[in-house]
Amino acid sequence: MLTTKWGKVDVAAETVTKQMEYHKNELSTLQTRHQAYVQSIRQGTEATDKTHHSLNENIRHIFQSLRSQLDRREKELLVDLENHTKDTKATQHALLTTCDEDKKTCTRVLDYISNIFLFASKSDILGLEKYVGEMTRTCLDNAAPQTDYAVPTADFNTNGLSKLKANVSGFGAILTMDMDGESVNGNLLRVIADWKPYKAYRQASFRNQKLENGVARECGVHLLKPGAVDRSCILKCLPLKNDKDRFSLAYVHINTEGDLVNRKSVIRPAGEGRLKKYTGTCSTAPLPQDGCPQYWELENRVSVNKPLSGDRLILEVGVCREEQRDVTHCIGGRPHSYSMNVAHCPTHGGICRSIWKEEKYVLCRPYTLPNTAGTSHTLHYGVVYDDARKKIVFIDVKEKKVMSTLDNVDCSEPLWPMFGVYNPDWITVCMRLVVGSDINMTEEKKAMIVKALS
Ligand SMILES: [Zn+2]
């Protein structure tokens, strides 16, 4: 009789059989689970198809209705124009007719008088005096005004067009919901999900990812308050770009690293729509107005070639309306513009940062930087734009200080970020945009922004 570690073969076989049965049960349970999982994925695919179909319908429907609304408005306006023109022409016609009648009457009276002179006897003339006088009086009373006809002017009012366009181009978003994420941080997720850089990110890493704050940070989105419940607490570090196709060729260029430099371009890329007077460039698009505060930074390397004097500008950062972008070399002091410039300041006798709000100079903050030839400085600024609170905040990143918070900013039309660099004979300035996830968003910086916005 064979023996094993379990004793006799029979006993051993029984034990092994039991163990195998246990394995069998385990595996069949697993198989059932697999089947169920496959089933649920299949259902998921069906659900995805259904969602795709219904969203597809929905998008088409909404845009169809927008299109017909536009068509209807266009027709209404064209009808208005027709009516307006018809009315004006009818008035002009009536005026012409009246004037023509008056002219005829006048001619008749003139003829009558000539006939009197030719044919009437002296006693007849006496009898006709009253009649001729009355006729002449009537003609003079009805006479046309002694000025030219004033043509009524008409114009097509396009107020709000650029805002409408901005709204249309940013309208709509496909939201990606994550069941557990939704309940925790729904708003942040929703904002991230409809944000283009996030979509790109999501496509790039196609694995079934959890939406976590890490992802948010990757996209340059930060919660200003933990557990934020509305958009106004979500800070977006938007991926601003300085516009290569718009910088003024006569004063500046954008180098291969994408930085703005205060030296005119050697190679002159042709193209229309360039800024001519502004010594710099604007961003490629205006700031979105979606209720989320927006944030960007500018790191400027400045070398002094000759000591600055008077009110010579070094650089300017700010925002303004579309039509203010190219009125003069800077936007400081222009209507609908909000800016900070760094310049030599005659009042403080050194380099200062001064803040401008629309036509008004707000304040000046002196620097302790040496204004000496051969010295170099890195100046690092942050700008917050908050359309919900109507505020703009200028931050000195190196000093970790808010320089100024502007209130009651007019956000009724889109605003464009502007970047200016000046005076190449005195200084060399190289302005780099720091945006999106490249921004080092520290808790300290966040706290500073929260305080400035509150
Ligand atoms: Zn000053």
pLDDT digit string (tens) for 296-325?
A: 999 999 999 999 999 999 999 999 999 999
- pLDDT tens across 358-388, in order? 999 999 999 888 899 999 999 999 999 999 9
Q: What is the mean pLDDT of residues 25-48?
A: 90
Q: Which of 164, 199, 219 is the last residue of a domain?
A: 219
363 CA from centroid of ligand 1 (Å)? 8
pLDDT at res. 263: 93
DSSP letter for 283, please: B
Structural domain includes residue 158: no
- Does some domain include residue 430? yes
Do residues 213 and 321 share a domain? Answer: no
| Percent of the chain residues past pLDDT 70, beyond the cut | 87
Q: Does residue 346 fall inside a structural domain? A: yes
Give the percent of the chain with pLDDT over 90.
48
Domain assignment present for 432 = yes
Question: In this structure, are 273 and 214 located in the same domain?
Answer: no
**Residue 431 resides in a domain:** yes
The Å distance, Cα 372 to ligand 1 centre, comes to 17
DSSP, res 151: P
Measured in Å, residue 12 CA sits from the centre of ligand 1 at: 96
DSSP line for 291-339 = SS-EEEEEEEEEEESS---TT-EEEEEEEEEGGGTTSSS--TT-TTEEE
Mean pLDDT of 244-265: 90
Taking the centre of ligand 1 as the mean of its atom positions, its distance from the CA of residue 394, in whole angstroms, is: 16
For residue 306, being part of any structural domain is answered with yes
- Length of the chain as a residue count: 454
198 lies in which domain range? 176-219
Q: Which of 193, 219, 245 is the last residue of a domain?
A: 219
Phi, psi of 46 (to 5 degrees): -60, -45
| One domain, residues 76 and 187 | no
Same domain, residue pair 269 and 343: yes
Amino acid code (one letter) for 143: A
Mean per-residue pLDDT, 399-409 = 95
276 shares its domain with 137: no
Tokens of 281: 């460039």
pLDDT surpassing 50 at residue 157: yes
How many CB atoms are located within 10 Å of the residue 364 CB? 14
Claim to verify: residue 102 and residue 207 sit in the same structural domain: no
| CA 347 – ligand 1 centroid, Å | 5
Could you tell me if 191 and 322 lie in one domain? no
- Regarding pTM above 0.75, the answer is no
**d(CA 453, ligand 1 centre) in Å:** 25
- Residue 248 confidence (pLDDT) above 50: yes
- Work out the average pLDDT over 104-133: 88
Higher pLDDT, 218 or 380: 380
Our count of domains for the chain comes to 3
For residues 196 and 265, membership in a common domain is answered with no
pLDDT in tens, 407-441: 999 999 999 999 999 999 999 999 999 998 889 99
Here the tokens at position 215 are 């992802």
Ligand 1: centre distance to CA 387 (Å): 29
Q: Rounded CA gap, 248 and 234, in Å?
A: 35
**How many Å is the Cα radius of gyration of the chain?**
39
Annotate 440-451 with b (16+ C-beta within 10 A) or e (fewer): ebeeebbebbee
69 and 181 co-located in one domain? no
CA of 350 to the centre of ligand 1 (A): 7
Number of neighbouring beta carbons within 10 Å of residue 148: 6
Question: At 340, which helix (H) or strand (E)?
Answer: strand 337-345
Element (H, E) at 362: strand 360-366
Tell me the average pLDDT across 8-20: 88
Residue 207 gets which letter from DSSP?
A: S
Measure 386 CA to ligand 1 centroid, in angstroms: 27
Please check the confidence at residue 133 and state whether its pLDDT lies above 60. yes
For residue 242, the 8-state DSSP code is B
Q: Give distance in angstroms: CA of 450 to centre of ligand 1.
A: 27
Do 248 and 282 meet the contact criterion of CB atoms below 8 Å apart?
A: no
User: Would you call 261 helix, strand, or coil by DSSP?
Assistant: strand
Give the residues across from 433 on adjacent strands. Answer: 298
Q: Ligand 1 mean position to 24 CA, how many Å?
A: 84
